[in-house]
Amino acid sequence: RSACEKAELKGLRFHDLRHTCLTNWYNAGHGHLLIMQASGHKTLSCFMRYLSFKNGALQKLVDDHSQQMDTKPDADLSKAM
């Protein structure tokens, strides 16, 4: 608490740091099973509560997926009919 006061961080809780750490590890590409082992989570549902997804990350996921779809060759639909 005193360290937060000296750093002028109001409302910071220990678990905020845990959420940030786990999210950063996940975003860095580490697998969820490895992170769960390091953090001590036994269930995936409990682990998922610790991940924080920002709207920008979700938008990037959608954009990346759309871009991959655009680069695939077009299917010849006339053969399907």
pLDDT in tens, 23-62: 889 888 899 999 999 999 999 888 888 887 665 666 777 7
Percent of the chain with pLDDT over 70: 74
Rounded distance between C-alpha atoms, residue 21 and residue 16, angstroms: 9
In this structure, the number of other CB atoms found within 10 A of the CB of residue 47 comes to 18
